A and B are shown apart, each in its own frame.
Chain A
Amino acid sequence: EADIYQTPRYLVIGTGKKITLECSQTMGHDKMYWYQQDPGMELHLIHYSYGVNSTEKGDLSSESTVSRIRTEHFPLTLESARPSHTSQYLCASSDGGRETQYFGPGTRLLVL
């Protein structure tokens, strides 16, 4: 079982607010990922990182930004939240070798 944590689990916020979704893992994984998933829909990769000071955009365009200053921490920031950002955000990290991705519990975001 993987040790990957996300906070907050649920967030309701007004339009225009700045928010940061936290993701931490204690497994020492170099690679970390952020996915966006709407209810009943597929996962979309929005950001990933191969290590400290490495960040890349994923397949789905996103107005969010990420940083990777420490191996264990990969926060995602929305500078100005909008209702279109309402979704579930899932963080994952992967091990060496076959690169199995392990997911955190997710953050459900509702922007009013």
Chain B
Amino acid sequence: GQNIDQPTEMTATEGAIVQINCTYQTSGFNGLFWYQQHAGEAPTFLSYNVLDGLEEKGRFSSFLSRSKGYSYLLLKELQMKDSASYLCAVSPISGAGSYQLTFGKGTKLSVIP
């Protein structure tokens, strides 16, 4: 099975940098996704990591350490519109049921002026 842990809530100031951590325990692992979900809306895809290291995409970066079962999402130059929930999701190893994602409970980020 899969177990995903991420902080429930975080608060950060506009213009600052925030790091949202995600740890996972899984019987098989293929890759890790990060999604953004604004209140009342559907999740939107942010990033995907399959190899160890940092993937940068504009103001957002995502890091993965497979050996440690750890990932983080880094948001730079925070804007008010970044206030949302950030979902960590694990993709299991290839095989039966390999296309199902297991989602964490999400981290609700509040950006304050």
Contact = CB atoms under 8 A, between A and B. Distances in A.
A100 B100 contact: no
A41 B45 contact: no
Interface in B55-113: 87, 91, 98-101, 103-106, 108
Which of under 10, 10 to 19, 20 to 34, or 35 or more describes the interface residues of B?
20 to 34
Main secondary structure of the interface of B (DSSP, over half): loop
Contacts of B104: 42
B103 A43 contact: yes
A55 to B, nearest CB: 13
Given A42-B106, A99-B91, A100-B33, A94 B99 contact: yes
Contact of B45 (A33, A43, A100, A105): A100
Interface residues of A, number: 22
Contacts of A102: 45
Contacts of A31: 99
A42 B99 contact: no
A34 B42 CA distance: 12
A42 B105 contact: yes
Contacts of A105: 41-42
B20 to A, nearest CB: 15
Interface of A: 31, 33, 39-43, 45, 48, 50, 58, 90, 94, 98-106
Interface of B: 31, 33, 40-45, 48, 50, 87, 91, 98-101, 103-106, 108
